[in-house]
């Protein structure tokens, strides 16, 4: 089944964030926040195809739509603000 994933480009924004890395260390960063929408009917399929212990998971059929949604939103954000 083809997985549909959407972005909300009007809600993409620059932000100052506080986060915690995998080792539990807190850090601050400036970044672009991108909202991605995964339809509920695709959630179980995506999770079933994902193995967090495998560097090659998920397969391209699942990872490419996620990457494209994020990159499309980032590109639209940069273009709309005439940023390099």
pLDDT digits (tens, 9 = 90+) for 59-70: 898 888 889 888
List CB contacts of 31: < 8 A, sequence separation 6 or more: 14, 15, 17
Q: What is the pLDDT of residue 54?
A: 94
Structural tokens at position 23:
């080792």
Q: What is the mean pLDDT of residues 29-42?
A: 90
Confidence of residue 18 (pLDDT cuts 50, 70, 90): very high
pLDDT at 1 > cutoff 60? no
Structural tokens at position 54:
């495998």
User: 6 pairs with which residues across the strands?
Assistant: 37
Q: What is the pLDDT of residue 2?
A: 65
Q: What is the pTM of this model?
A: 0.74
Question: What span, in angstroms and rounded, lies between the C-alpha atoms of 81 and 84?
Answer: 9
Domain map of the chain by residue range? 6-80
Q: What is the mean pLDDT of residues 42-61?
A: 91
Beta strands in 1-84 (DSSP E): 6-7, 13-20, 26-33, 36-37
């Amino acid at each position: 089944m083809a997985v549909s994933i959407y972005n909300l480009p009007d809600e993409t924004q620059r932000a100052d964030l506080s986060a915690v890395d995998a080792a539990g260390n807190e850090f601050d960063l400036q970044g672009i926040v991108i909202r991605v929408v995964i339809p509920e009917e695709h959630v179980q399929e995506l999770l079933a195809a994902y193995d967090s212990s495998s560097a090659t998971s998920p397969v391209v059929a699942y990872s490419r739509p996620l990457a494209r949604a994020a990159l499309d939103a980032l590109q639209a954000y940069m273009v709309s603000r005439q940023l390099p």
